[in-house]
A and B are shown apart, each in its own frame.
Chain A
Amino acid sequence: MRFNFKYIILVALTVVVASCKKDTKEAPKASFKGRLVYNGTPINVEQNQVPVELYQSGFGKRGAIVGNVTQDGAFSFLLFNGDYKLIIPGVQGPFRWNQTGATRDSLSVNISGDKTIDLEVTPYYLINDVKYSVSGRAVTAAFSVNKIITDANARDIERVTLYVNKTQFVSSNGDENVANNGIAGSAVTGTVNLTATVPALTPSQGYVFARVGLKIAGVDDMIYSPLQKISL
């Protein structure tokens, strides 16, 4: 049998034409972005640990569209236009949000085109005025801790820790720090100094990233200070 290009072209054309016609739905296009802020300052957390959930009713099944907050407190979604309910579930996040007692209330969000919002949250604590100094391979952070929630909902500090990592992802998570040093919450008064010694890094690099994390008793997620790049 002779090789006949005509048929191949014909089949290919049919496939192309037929499949273009029966394409699936349009992809979501409306971008919905936001940050977690307290008085305009972003809340720093560990990446992928604080979820933001969106619910849309009227489509049969119930289930959330889950987005995770980045290290510097930002989140983003690509959505279809419509009405959504936004919630940061349970006791996620080192803060109180939209709640009177123990449970949180959702927030109605209408999406029609791109949208940016800032979610105002009230952190239990903030880490203020972090100043880093370096001597040899020892990184020292000096900072103070500010208690924001002081009423009946106040919580104690469990630990305050300086974390240092070789990449910009820095947290208490085992593979997101190469050095850390912390003190118990009971020892936190006034200006706190913490020093962590960076071990030899392979491959060697002349800089590290550091953050100070604060663990609140009874809350999984820690609150962090802004990320700082430090030259060794």
Chain B
Amino acid sequence: MLFNSWPFLIFFPIVTALYFLAPFKVRWLLLLVASCVFYMAFVPIYVLVLASTIIIDYFAAIQIEKNEGRKRSRWLLLSIIFTCLILFFFKYYDFFTWNVNEAAGLLHSDVTLSALHLILPIGLSFHTFQSLSYVIEVYRGNQKTERHFGIYALYVMFYPQLVAGPIERPQNMLHQFHEKHDFNYDEVISGLRLMAWGLFKKAVIADRLAQFVTPVYAQPSLFDGGVLLVATLFFSFQIYCDFSGYTDMARGAARVMGFKLMLNFDRPYSATSLSEFWRRWHISLSTWLRDYVYEPVAMGLRDRGMYGIVIALMVAFLVSGFWHGASWTFVAWGLFHGVGLSLEAVFAKQRKKLAKAMPTWLFNAIMLVLTFSFINFTYIFFRAKTIADAVLILRHISSWIFPVNQLFSTHIPNLFHGVTSVIASNQFNISCALIVFLVAAESLQARANIGERLKWSPWWVRWSAYQAGIIAIAFGGVWLGSRNFIYFQF
């Protein structure tokens, strides 16, 4: 079920009302059933895939807690292998067969593996990582096992964050399912406001930008570098509004019922370094990779100095690339980020010297532009269908920015003409205005909490703002065509 769909508009108020009306001791069951209904709206049978992950990790965690020494490690390993096997089977098996067949072709071998062409269970990577987080935390002694099977199942399946995160830690979520949340007017309003802002970002901004990005990236060879550059810039805001919009709706829906989900985005494009970007972008995944991949590798290789850190970063971002999708484009995207972060780590002292040598505002401005440009460069690989497409896009953009072959040409490329061959000029202008509005609104929110200000403003100001928001979503939203969330595919 999509958050931006009619069924959810019926599902959400019914589940929320029942949640507050139901006695406390059956609320977990109500939420679990609601989460099953939510998940089964996609491919009903896949609820069994989710059930297997839950069962494996529930019992493995108990064994980890019960045992000591090597037995604990064995149970952890077993749990990781089985949970990842499910992920491998559904997400990576076809990619694996494709690569084996390609390699066999190069070696003139007759080996051919058949692909399964399975539909990927929605949000599989998200709940796999959330479930793994539980067993790892139990193994590390940071979390006691949850003996209530229903509550543990709810931890993995809680519908607001089931299909696209945030990837929660058991320490933050499990205790919340044992606590009674009474109806709290302020929390409900605050949650609904967050949901509305998320829906605005998704329906009004992301889906509008997609109208430009999708056709351009579908056939990049048809467009010049200027159009491809605009499509890439638009994509950076599309993916941000799409994913952070989903997260806002998830956090808002949970907050209405009194649950607190972790912050997943914190104005990532205001970052002045790549490491800061990863502290602001998809925080639940980046902290997951930091704690469970980067840290163990870096800790194990710490005697090797900077080499150990670089290897740990590359491994973490290789995992991140694969996590996003079974394609070499995602792997390339992950590796570029790994290389970028490694360079930042290696040149940290020189960077500091540079910062001291120039005015702070100038240094920050230069670093912001460089960081945003690098992120956009990597997005080309993230969004392109193939590596060949990504290289073609890069070639077109670079020859558009640096037209070395046309140094003496008097012809000035008309960007606006190229752009309006994809969408109408007024649509393009609206898209640009929405990006400016987004940046301004989020900057304002960072300086002065708009929600808090609204709470204390006169009722007519507050309700006028809410009505304006609803009208903007209803009439400014793109409601036709595909409205899927980008991160659902992961």
Q: Do A and B bind each other?
A: no
A residues with a Cβ closer than 8 A to B are: none
